[in-house]
Amino acid sequence: MEHTRIKELLNATEFGQEVIVKGWVRTFRNNQFIAINDGSSINNIQAVVDFENTDDALLKRITTGAAVRVKGTLIESLGKGQKVEVKVTELDVIGDSDPEKFPLQPKKHSLEFLREIAHLRFRTGTFNAIFKVRNALSFAVHRFFNERDFVYMHTPIITGSDAEGAGEMFRVTTLDLNNPPRTENGDIDFKEDFFGKSTNLTVSGQLEGELAALAFGNIYTFGPTFRAENSNTTRHLAEFWMIEPEMAFYELEDNMDLAEALLKYVIQYALETCPEEIEFLKNRLLEEEKNKPAADRSEMDLIEKLKFCLENEFERVKYTDAIEILKRSKPNQKKQFKYLIDEWGADLQSEHERYLVEKHFKKPVILTDYPREIKSFYMKQNEPDALGRNTVRAMDILFPGIGEMVGGSQREENLDKLLARMAEVGIPAEEMEWFLDTRRFGSVPHSGFGVGFERLVLFVTGMTNIRDVIPFPRTPKNAEF
Amino acid sequence: MEHTRIKELLNATEFGQEVIVKGWVRTFRNNQFIAINDGSSINNIQAVVDFENTDDALLKRITTGAAVRVKGTLIESLGKGQKVEVKVTELDVIGDSDPEKFPLQPKKHSLEFLREIAHLRFRTGTFNAIFKVRNALSFAVHRFFNERDFVYMHTPIITGSDAEGAGEMFRVTTLDLNNPPRTENGDIDFKEDFFGKSTNLTVSGQLEGELAALAFGNIYTFGPTFRAENSNTTRHLAEFWMIEPEMAFYELEDNMDLAEALLKYVIQYALETCPEEIEFLKNRLLEEEKNKPAADRSEMDLIEKLKFCLENEFERVKYTDAIEILKRSKPNQKKQFKYLIDEWGADLQSEHERYLVEKHFKKPVILTDYPREIKSFYMKQNEPDALGRNTVRAMDILFPGIGEMVGGSQREENLDKLLARMAEVGIPAEEMEWFLDTRRFGSVPHSGFGVGFERLVLFVTGMTNIRDVIPFPRTPKNAEF
């Protein structure tokens, strides 16, 4: 006889049927009530043991973390908080768990502690909920693009180009570090390396994505990207997943429409397919915020915040107008911003973004047309404005609490303008011939954007540390498991 | 007025409507017929220009590879090979393409040549079809697991463990190769590296997948993996994508059932959603095979081969029985195998696998219960057989033409047996404490398998070089784009 997954049993109504449950013991109370979880649901099923007719030695092995197989009758529960339970007729311990050593005792553990046992934290309700939501968001991303006939492209992880000029990249090598081959000049001889050149881990699939978009029309990537920044914050990972769609014949407005539609689609999907998980995470967050001073608590609970993004049309504002709003804002006038806004050209900080979203517009905001100097070389240049200021067709989507959720732009399709900008910022054209070919042979207006996937998961789960929304976080000095 | 994608127009029946097409010129014949492709379909739409009333200078710019915008009336085509065409009323060149320089002339190019311009080969019919099929297979993988409530886990790309003991890994580092920090002993000081230890690119997400399966029950990974093998063959990539499901409470039989169901599901999905692409690829393969001696041609065409895998129940055979079949086989008796099978314990070669699938059973074959010595340390050990031979609960799925499509096993859940095997093969337990915890705390029978995604795409597209089924292949001395 097959076992049934607990998620299914918890919704069952056919009482009296014989069932088999396999899972792990979360708690065992009064020598009688086993709370069993098999990972299919954040909720446990209760199995009631006839302890008087069960061997004592066996009962002693029903410890937290042990794996059990239970056969019994599914009955309506009279206890509070559960609709069904299993009246046990057969009980086996499949895998023991030494209660002295098992780190996950049935009590509240701090998130910090759980990060140290990332391989076991999946067995808690909180992390079950987080990774179920992450799973739902992943699937929703693929479904969204599939419904729109986008082609999923696997852009390369190992790259020979340093196109973003970011500098903060991880080297990939098979050279012997102890004694690397040298050229006659004494330099490291990367011709001897695996790929015959110096290679790194990608920071973005965008440039390769553009190549594909200019053949397939609409494509997207969804894969890992890497930054070797030595940032130990709650918002940085060295390895994270990114979603990057790229569309031929899309102007900036089409790009904004698509990004807004994507975010609403995946949030809606998570709400619909993970109601229990999100309810659980909402309550977790309310608990967490109780420890904060009232002024620091979020005005909206998690579900309200998600609906806030679904129900509002995102406000579209030009950078130049946003600067005026910020200049005249109370926190700027009263010098409450850490970085005061006094002139056009300033790079907006998180405090400014949050002011625009949470205080001024009270809805998600798409900021566009940023100063050229603070944005990437590949963004399409606008004509200078009446004051001669240069801007680019960039767009960032700002969300409550989290700040930038999406960064994108229309791309500069004009070869000469692109070459001139590359020269200005010092990107050697000869390393980018393949990229420039897209502007040589049938160049067309096109646009794209990137969504940091963990940031999206952070937003939808209401978690505050990005290390809690990726299974095995990689950060400076930390590559465990 | 918005443009319409060509795929949609090719299926349109509302003649007389005004349409806008945007795409790239594939051919321009008789100063009149433009074949336009926008990547949405492998098929072009024909636009018919009234050349007598069109500026000559504009007509000259209608070159292969140029991007055009065409406005006109959708009419029923009288020409052969197309149902609809566009009678042009407005014609613009969006992006020119110098015919002297554009590498993709309207003629047949070799696959080798196209690999050198991997950033432009997406614009050919063959590569349009290949990457559409790849896209369909990707989505089908996610849908298959989603329908079965599996959790998609992003296992880490950068890893501090060398668990497979493979050795052939890429190092990831931010150390200065010219002058790396040294310990007092003169060794490289990896404590100074970004992660505070020596790190590599993952060769498999399996071990981390096991951690997750023993919490969520059923999980899968689908992400890039890496091998630093210096193999320049048509079957090896240094960077490739792998699908790895891992299931708690699954015995080997359940594992085989799932793998067979997955392969059938995704092949069926590709046939249903990409009929034109697969028909195109079938014909491409028939053309290619015309150049081969008749004896080397495939007995089945591409579609027959795909249906062969759908319609046959996979044959399940124990290694020990397969050895007997091979020993007694004609090619072994007549010494036609390159590697003759004469004793139990031999590692099967591609020729043996193909004999079993294509000649003996004439259906896909699942080989199980391999000798322990030729398989990985983590596979569940059987009791020794009557002759005292040691086997493990491994299973490989063998496909026609391609050989091994899936490799999997039931995992050894017994801590003592696992530790003993690790000691035998020289894997230090102290580096694997996190992995061993799964066997310490609630260990359960569990199983999993891996599918090399490019091998799957190779099979479904009928291509023969793995470099043609990944957008930007990484192989020794080759990390372009």
> What pLDDT does residue A165 have?
54
Separation in Å, CA of A80 to nearest CA in chain B? 25
Of A24, A194, A481, the CB nearest to B434: A481
Of A7, A97, A211, the CB nearest to B122: A211
Q: pTM (2 decimals)?
A: 0.97
The answer to whether A195 contacts B153, with C-beta atoms less than 8 Å apart, is no
Which residues of chain B lie closer than 8 angstroms to A154, CB-CB?
Answer: 134, 224, 241, 470-471
**Count of positions (residues) in chain A:** 481
Query: Averaged over A165-175, what is the pLDDT?
Result: 84
Matching CATH number, B129-153+209-224+241-466, of 3.30.930.10, 1.10.260.40, 3.90.1150.170, 3.20.20.100: 3.30.930.10
A393: enclosing H helix or E strand: strand A391-399
Separation in Å, CA of A307 to nearest CA in chain B? 25
**Model confidence over A414-440: pLDDT tens digits?**
999 999 999 999 999 998 999 999 999
> What pLDDT does residue A27 have?
96
> What pLDDT does residue B80 have?
81
Separation in Å, CA of A32 to nearest CA in chain B? 19
Closest chain A residue by Cα to residue B146 = A139
Q: Which amino acid is at A220?
A: Y
Separation in Å, CA of B58 to nearest CA in chain A? 15
- Contact between A301 and A285 under an 8 Å Cβ cutoff? The reply is yes
Q: Which amino acid is at A86?
A: V
**Model confidence over B137-189: pLDDT tens digits?**
999 999 999 999 999 999 999 998 765 555 589 999 999 999 999 999 999 99
- Which tokens go with A301? 């609970």
Q: Which of B28, B36, B119, B243 to mutate to test the interface with A (most CBs of A within 10 A)?
A: B119
Average pLDDT, chain A: 95
Query: Averaged over A205-210, what is the pLDDT?
Result: 96
> What pLDDT does residue A173 have?
97
Q: How many CB pairs below 8 A link A and B? A: 308
Q: Where are the alpha helices (DSSP H) in A349-412?
A: 350-354
- Which tokens go with B362? 């004439």
**Model confidence over A236-266: pLDDT tens digits?**
999 999 999 999 999 999 999 999 999 999 9
The answer to whether B170 contacts A174, with C-beta atoms less than 8 Å apart, is yes
The answer to whether B171 contacts A174, with C-beta atoms less than 8 Å apart, is yes
Separation in Å, CA of B225 to nearest CA in chain A? 10
> In the CATH scheme, what architecture does the domain B4-93 have?
Beta Barrel (2.40)
Location of structure tokens 């419904």? A147
- Contact between B471 and B457 under an 8 Å Cβ cutoff? The reply is no
Closest chain A residue by Cα to residue B156 = A472
Which residues of chain A lie closer than 8 angstroms to B480, CB-CB?
Answer: 160, 434
Query: Averaged over A358-365, what is the pLDDT?
Result: 95
Of B119, B178, B180, the CB nearest to A437: B119
User: Which of helix, strand or coil describes residue A87?
Assistant: strand
Low-confidence residues of chain B, pLDDT below 70? 1, 162-167
A73: enclosing H helix or E strand: strand A67-76
The answer to whether B96 contacts A38, with C-beta atoms less than 8 Å apart, is no
Closest CA to A105 of A95, A93, A116, A114: A114
The answer to whether B188 contacts A199, with C-beta atoms less than 8 Å apart, is no
Instruction: Look at strands A365-371 and A315-318 and give their pairing.
Output: parallel
Query: Averaged over A180-199, what is the pLDDT?
Result: 96
The answer to whether A151 contacts B171, with C-beta atoms less than 8 Å apart, is no
Which residues of chain A lie closer than 8 angstroms to B182, CB-CB?
Answer: none
> What pLDDT does residue B163 have?
57
Which residues of chain A lie closer than 8 angstroms to B159, CB-CB?
Answer: 479
> What pLDDT does residue B299 have?
85
The answer to whether A442 contacts B66, with C-beta atoms less than 8 Å apart, is yes
> What pLDDT does residue B297 have?
86
Residue A164 has pLDDT above 80, yes or no: no
The answer to whether A101 contacts B440, with C-beta atoms less than 8 Å apart, is yes
Domain edges within chain A: 4-93, 129-153+209-224+241-466
Residue A166 has pLDDT above 60, yes or no: no
Closest chain A residue by Cα to residue B439 = A95
Which residue has better confidence, A401 or A191?
A191
The answer to whether A441 contacts B211, with C-beta atoms less than 8 Å apart, is no
The answer to whether A101 contacts B441, with C-beta atoms less than 8 Å apart, is yes
The answer to whether B194 contacts A438, with C-beta atoms less than 8 Å apart, is no
- Contact between B34 and B63 under an 8 Å Cβ cutoff? The reply is no
> What pLDDT does residue B104 have?
94
Crossing angle of helices A252-273/A453-461, nearest 10°? 50
Separation in Å, CA of B458 to nearest CA in chain A? 15
Burial class for A302, CB neighbours closer than 10 Å (0-12, 13-18, 19+): buried
Q: Which of B216, B413, B441, B469 to mutate to test the interface with A (most CBs of A within 10 A)?
A: B441
Of B120, B196, B442, the CB nearest to A66: B442
Separation in Å, CA of B441 to nearest CA in chain A? 4
Please say whether the dihedral angle defined by the alpha carbons of residues A343, A346, A348 and A351, taken in this order, is positive or negative.
Answer: negative
